[in-house]
Structure 1
């Protein structure tokens, strides 16, 4: 396609938007409403997925070392744990550290326990490369020498993984369903716009215009509708997420393991995604809608 021809198609698309003011407004409104729903739902689902990932990554195996184990046996146990392929990190926590943590968590009354009376075990805190590998790694660690027990929550963690997996699958299905709904609504609105101009298409076809020569102004028009319709949803999602992020940031401690997605680059990613969805659906809706009127 020549540059001069592209310029002509762009001019025609702008003229068409002005000539068909009310239909243009209806199409942009449909794009705006559907993309706003998509944007809000994407923001919620992406943050829910982030929370789920944070929960999974916080799962750890606490390996209680036998009370009778000496330093050499502890070093040997640490080496054996690190040899397990699925293990990502191993951190040692002495029984004194465990007692201090217990005092901070449960209250100062636990400080009455002296170091000589400390009933707690030395512990290796083990994290796996993948949260789903936790159960298998714990089973392997239990078979090692000098291990009293290896705990990770077991049934609760397994139920949690199952719940998170189900919620992710449901979220993906809902997002796909919402996108198809958006495509259906927007393309149908564009069809109405093109239906009102079917005579114009038929005349162009009868005087010898090629199919693609007729299509391109409508495709560009659909792209403009998608771009214009995405501006308000992008602005609303970006502003709302800014307020929501600030609200949560003030109430969630800095060291808390769960946190929302940071404003940057999350908002830019969602904005670009909404813009692309608007452009693709607008162009696709115009392409499909004009096709039936080219058969003269």
Structure 2
């Protein structure tokens, strides 16, 4: 098949159905942009988990005098030096789980609290004795927090065992929710794009029924008759994929040049992640359009 003929037929089809072609391009672009955004959000969540989980600590808080009446597990009063040492000894024996452990005194905890809450009016009302002593434990595998919890919760002198991972899980839950929402909208948009592609191919085939009739009379093969329509749909999808890629690159520019400067505690994924997604979007868009056009033509273009 001559390339010149195929290109001329694509041009004819696009001109005759310009409005519907634009609708196909826009719908494909939006659906593929959402697909790419969903994949990038997944990569961002995985990147953040790897970055933040590596910094997560488990805190083993000890009883203070003030906890004697407020907390049942501290009924015997403030933790003794021996009880604190016993916890350290047990932590040192858990070499396969515990990476390191750092002791934080009441004075250190109070200073850290003042540094992070400089405008809190309670600073003048409380002193270091109100802050519990603790062991800040870093784990080799942060997901095995439950082992530390079961080993030290209820131990003599221990008030509570807290895992910083719970704070992060709320954030990751929100990001996973956004990813799911983007995926659902993407599926709906892809379905709309498929309907538009099918309808566009049907209209294009009907408007060129005279040309295809002549081609059948002179013995043209199925492939020769159908190829211009399939190429037309694939070309419209390609334009949509290019537009979707532009939207993703624009989104990356916004994140790196505006959002990253204002939200510095998050390590955003780089341009390489976006560039890895773009070829996949092009393949998905063109394959979806080509397959939809092929099966539509089998039904509505009898050759």
TM-score after normalising by structure 2: 0.70
Give the aligned length. Answer: 276
Structure 1: tracts of 5 or more residues without a match: none
> Is the 1:223–1:279 Cα contact (8 Å) retained in structure 2?
yes
- Out of 230, 250, 262, the position equivalent to 1:239 is 250
Q: Which moved more, 1:192-201 or 1:155-164?
A: 155-164
The separation in 2 between residues aligned to 1:138 and 1:168, in whole angstroms, is: 32
Q: Give deviations 1:66-122, integer Å, cap 9, x for gaps.
A: 653365751432432x545xx7x5543432654443232122848x957xx584323
Q: 1:122 to 1:21 in 2, by over 3 A?
A: closer
> Is the 1:63–1:150 Cα contact (8 Å) retained in structure 2?
yes
The separation in 2 between residues aligned to 1:126 and 1:22, in whole angstroms, is: 65
Q: Give deviations 1:26-67, integer Å, cap 9, x for gaps.
A: 454123311332255346545655665547955653223665
Structure 2: tracts of 5 or more residues without a match: 63-78
The separation in 2 between residues aligned to 1:137 and 1:203, in whole angstroms, is: 77
The separation in 1 between residues aligned to 2:242 and 2:134, in whole angstroms, is: 58
- Out of 54, 61, 64, the position equivalent to 2:61 is 64
> Is the 1:67–1:121 Cα contact (8 Å) retained in structure 2?
no
Q: 1:160 to 1:38 in 2, by over 3 A?
A: same
Quote how far apart the aligned CAs of 1:190 are.
2.8
SS at match of 1:223: helix
Quote how far apart the aligned CAs of 1:16 are.
0.6
TM-score after normalising by structure 1: 0.71
> Is the 1:27–1:190 Cα contact (8 Å) retained in structure 2?
no
SS at match of 1:288: helix
Match of 1:204 in 2: 215
1:19 aligns with 2:12: yes
CA RMSD in angstroms comes to: 3.9
1:271 aligns with 2:268: no
- Out of 269, 285, 290, the position equivalent to 2:292 is 285
